[in-house]
């Protein structure tokens, strides 16, 4: 305890909260100061916690969510009341949607005034608003309850299916005091916050029977599998079974994308032709066409095994023949044990058919990547990043945009688990700088943020945060003068079309404004030079990569979700 504002015998709400977090090995807070939490941010820093202060709460919240995904510990986001809370709420809800553990802690106004709606400073019934939008929500009114409040928040965030938790702390709480020893005793160190959930032996056997009899089995790895940190067992399962696998975008690198069994380069064929599909930490949501339609080949041609911690995920879209409920580490371990030593590998005619198609597509892709058009297009720019990530497989890639996202996902190979952070289940823009800050702060590794120019705009002001904390983040803005592309024209003249931006915008100057490095890259050589220097120096860098403004397509690969396109189909 280093606080001089209180007597040696007492401890206040501020310090009880800090001690409760530290007791649970939480050492970083992402947030933005103001009434009533400014002193908390100062005190947390004085007590040795890392306090990362942002320019907007949404990005602090996104940082907390990414930290949660990367570490399995809930990331903490701290905000002021009403507007600050609402700014953080988008990130909390996004975290919940993505199954990332985080805790949004917001100061709030006086209960008595809020409940009578008497018009307090930043008055809002935050708990009621947060409740339907996150996994759990709690309020602590008394200092002696903060130990329980933090314990419940941690357990709620990380146990079972991880998610976002809201913790409401009215202003009065912070100044309350307790006798020091009683206060410290009231805190809880959470034992086993995410208990293993062992799958039932008959469920394991049911899954193995289906796999054993499959003629064309396929494994899909999702970001739940990446989160679970069961990397060695997942790799063993893939290799022992010989089954082709598809990584969802944030599961890329769980096995290196160059792995012989990766079917990514022939995704459509693998999905359409497989007869038994095992989902490991991946939901059959829109990203997998809900398990329906022509993506999935002949109707009724498939049986599914679904490994998931949530018992209600199975049958959410199509019938699941073998649900395997438990944590992925325990489930994959049980499957491996059940396979024994004499497990027959996946049928060779199937694995060869997948491999042949994949090789053909990879050859085609190599030809496309070798081209050097002027101006650069998505492919020629991403080819540079692909080579850099190959050379620095420990670097973390953050990725958002439409075309910039879709092309980067398929072109930039990942080699290590949990090195790719992106727009996730919602396909949300704005995660870029928050995720990049969290990746740098929690891992210390170089971060390469591959950003559409529109996507970057959502969190662009956080380049100041990146400079302030001197983080090894290189932001590459794919500048094609607009949302999707930069060529739309307003048919009536007058205002610019809704999807276009200022032509030739100087994004690199935003980084220069705060003391970082800003570079324009007009061709792959300039991009390579700038990126190599950024990674070597670790200096905050923004590369304004000039991309052909005609190159993109509307909404990237999900054009068909636009109502007009859907109507025409």
Query: Is 328 one of the binding residues for ligand ADP (CB under 6 A)?
Result: yes
Phi, psi of 257 (to 5 degrees): -60, -15
C-alpha 37/C-alpha 77 separation (Å) is 12
Please choose which of ligand ADP, ligand TZD, none residue 460 contacts, taking the beta carbon within 5 to 8 angstroms, the exact cut-off set by kind.
none
Cβ contact 463:510 at 8 Å = yes
Please choose which of ligand TZD, ligand ADP, none residue 483 contacts, taking the beta carbon within 5 to 8 angstroms, the exact cut-off set by kind.
ligand TZD
Residues 6+ apart with CB under 8 A from 561: 286, 555
**Residue ranges in 264-293 that form contacts with ligand ADP under rule CB under 6 A:** 281-283, 285, 287
Listed ranges 124-132, 269-277, 382-390, 477-485: which one lies at the site for ligand TZD (CB under 6 A): 477-485
E strands, 412-535, in order: 420-422, 447-452, 473-479, 517-521
Position closest to ligand ADP via CB: 224
Answer for which of 127, 251, 376, 450 binds ligand ADP (CB under 6 A) is 251
Please choose which of ligand ADP, ligand TZD, none residue 122 contacts, taking the beta carbon within 5 to 8 angstroms, the exact cut-off set by kind.
none
Residue 15 class from Cβ within 10 Å (0-12 exposed, 13-18 middle, 19+ buried)? buried
Cβ contact 32:161 at 8 Å = no
Query: Is 88 one of the binding residues for ligand TZD (CB under 6 A)?
Result: no
Angle at 34 between CA 30 and CA 35, to 5 degrees: 125
Q: Shortest Cβ distance from residue 500 to ligand TZD (Å)?
A: 10
Q: Shortest Cβ distance from residue 250 to ligand ADP (Å)?
A: 5
**Residue ranges in 182-211 that form contacts with ligand ADP under rule CB under 6 A:** none
**Residue ranges in 396-415 that form contacts with ligand TZD under rule CB under 6 A:** 401-404
Q: Shortest Cβ distance from residue 539 to ligand TZD (Å)?
A: 24
* DSSP-derived 3-state class of residue 128: helix
* DSSP-derived 3-state class of residue 382: helix
Cβ contact 88:79 at 8 Å = yes
**Residue 350-389 contact track with ligand TZD, rule CB under 6 A, x = bound:** ----------------------------------------
Cβ contact 316:283 at 8 Å = yes
Binding-residue total with ligand TZD (CB under 6 A): 18
Q: Residue 527's closest CA among 420, 387, 396, 433?
A: 387
Q: For residues 256 and 375, which CB has a smaller minimum distance to ligand ADP in the complex?
A: 256
Answer for which of 310, 361, 387, 555 binds ligand ADP (CB under 6 A) is 310
**Residue 479-498 contact track with ligand TZD, rule CB under 6 A, x = bound:** -x--xx--------------
Q: Shortest Cβ distance from residue 456 to ligand TZD (Å)?
A: 7
Q: Residue 477's closest CA among 447, 519, 537?
A: 519
Please choose which of ligand ADP, ligand TZD, none residue 403 contacts, taking the beta carbon within 5 to 8 angstroms, the exact cut-off set by kind.
ligand TZD
Q: For residues 244 and 482, which CB has a smaller minimum distance to ligand TZD in the complex?
A: 482
Q: For residues 446 and 556, which CB has a smaller minimum distance to ligand TZD in the complex?
A: 556
Its sign, for the CA torsion 307, 312, 313, 318, is positive
Phi, psi of 465 (to 5 degrees): -60, -45
Q: Shortest Cβ distance from residue 128 to ligand TZD (Å)?
A: 24
**CA distance to 89, 199, 335, 556, per residue, from 83 (Å):** 10, 43, 48, 33
**Residue 527-556 contact track with ligand TZD, rule CB under 6 A, x = bound:** -------------------------x---x
Q: Shortest Cβ distance from residue 189 to ligand ADP (Å)?
A: 22
C-alpha 477/C-alpha 461 separation (Å) is 14
**Residue ranges in 210-239 that form contacts with ligand ADP under rule CB under 6 A:** 222-224, 227-228
**Residue 199-238 contact track with ligand TZD, rule CB under 6 A, x = bound:** ----------------------------------------
DSSP string, 173-221: HHH-EEEHHHHHHT----SSSS---PPPHHHHHHHHHHHHH-SSEEEEE
Q: For residues 285 and 512, which CB has a smaller minimum distance to ligand ADP in the complex?
A: 285
**Residue 390-429 contact track with ligand ADP, rule CB under 6 A, x = bound:** -----------------------------------x----
Residues 6+ apart with CB under 8 A from 193: 24, 154, 155, 158, 159
* DSSP-derived 3-state class of residue 28: strand
Cβ contact 95:163 at 8 Å = yes
Q: Shortest Cβ distance from residue 427 to ligand ADP (Å)?
A: 10
Burial 524-546 (b: 16+ CB within 10 A, else e): bebbbebbbebbeebbbbbbbbb
Q: Residue 166's closest CA among 271, 81, 261, 268?
A: 81
User: Which chain residues interact with ligand TZD by CB under 6 A?
Assistant: 401-404, 427-430, 452-455, 478, 480, 483-484, 552, 556
User: Which chain residues interact with ligand ADP by CB under 6 A?
Assistant: 98-99, 161-162, 222-224, 227-228, 248, 250-251, 281-283, 285, 287, 308-310, 313, 327-328, 425
């Amino acid at each position: 305890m280093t606080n001089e504002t209180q007597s040696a015998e007492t401890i206040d709400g501020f310090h009880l909260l800090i001690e409760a977090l530290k007791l649970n090995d939480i050492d970083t807070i992402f947030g933005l100061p103001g009434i009533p939490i400014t002193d908390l941010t100062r005190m947390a820093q004085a007590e040795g916690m890392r306090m990362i202060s942002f320019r907007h709460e949404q990005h602090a919240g996104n940082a907390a969510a990414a930290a949660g995904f990367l570490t399995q510990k809930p990331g903490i986001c701290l905000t002021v009341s009403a507007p600050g809370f609402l700014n953080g709420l988008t990130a909390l809800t996004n975290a919940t949607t993505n199954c990332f553990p985080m805790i949004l802690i917001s100061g709030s106004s006086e209960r008595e005034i809020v409940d009578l709606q008497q018009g307090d400073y930043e008055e809002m019934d935050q708990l009621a608003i947060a409740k339907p939008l996150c996994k759990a929500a709690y309020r602590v009114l008394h200092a002696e309850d903060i130990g329980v409040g933090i314990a419940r928040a941690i357990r709620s965030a990380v146990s079972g299916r991880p998610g976002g938790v809201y913790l409401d702390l009215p202003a009065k709480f912070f100044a309350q005091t307790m006798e020091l020893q009683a206060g410290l005793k009231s805190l809880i160190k959470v034992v086993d916050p995410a208990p293993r959930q062992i799958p039932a032996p008959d469920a394991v056997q049911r899954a193995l029977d289906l796999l054993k009899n499959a003629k064309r089995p396929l494994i899909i790895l999702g970001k739940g599998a990446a989160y679970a940190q069961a990397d060695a067992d997942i790799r063993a399962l893939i290799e022992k079974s010989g089954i082709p696998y598809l990584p969802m975008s944030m599961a890329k690198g769980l096995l290196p994308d160059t792995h012989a069994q990766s079917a990514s380069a022939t995704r459509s064929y693998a999905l359409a032709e497989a007869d038994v599909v095992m989902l490991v930490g991946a939901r059959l949501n829109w990203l997998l066409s809900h398990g329906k339609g022509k993506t999935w080949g002949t109707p009724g041609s498939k049986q599914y095994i679904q490994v998931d911690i949530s018992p209600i995920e199975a049958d959410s879209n199509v019938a699941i023949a073998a649900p395997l409920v438990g944590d992925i580490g325990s489930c994959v371990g049980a499957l491996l044990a059940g396979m024994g030593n004499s497990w027959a590998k996946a049928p060779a005619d199937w694995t060869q058919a997948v491999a042949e198609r994949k090789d053909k597509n990879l050859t085609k892709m190599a030809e496309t990547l070798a081209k050097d058009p002027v101006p650069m297009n998505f492919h020629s720019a991403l080819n540079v990043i692909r080579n850099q990530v190959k050379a620095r497989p420990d670097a973390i890639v953050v990725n958002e945009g439409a075309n910039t996202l879709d092309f980067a996902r398929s072109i930039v190979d990942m080699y290590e688990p949990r090195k790719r952070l992106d727009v996730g289940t919602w396909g949300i823009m704005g995660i870029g700088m928050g995720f990049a800050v969290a990746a740098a702060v929690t891992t210390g590794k170089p971060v390469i943020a591959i950003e559409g120019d529109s996507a970057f705009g959502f969190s662009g002001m956080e380049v100041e945060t990146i400079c302030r904390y001197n983080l090894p983040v290189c932001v590459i803005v794919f500048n094609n003068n607009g949302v999707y592309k930069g060529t739309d024209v307003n048919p009536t003249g007058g205002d610019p079309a809704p999807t276009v931006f200022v032509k030739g915008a100087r994004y690199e100057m935003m980084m220069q404004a705060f003391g970082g490095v800003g570079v324009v890259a007009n061709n792959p050589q300039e991009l390579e030079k700038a990126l190599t220097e950024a990674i070597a120096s670790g200096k905050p860098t923004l590369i304004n990569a000039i991309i052909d403004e005609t190159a993109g397509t509307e909404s990237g690969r999900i054009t068909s979700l636009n109502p007009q396109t859907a109507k025409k189909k």
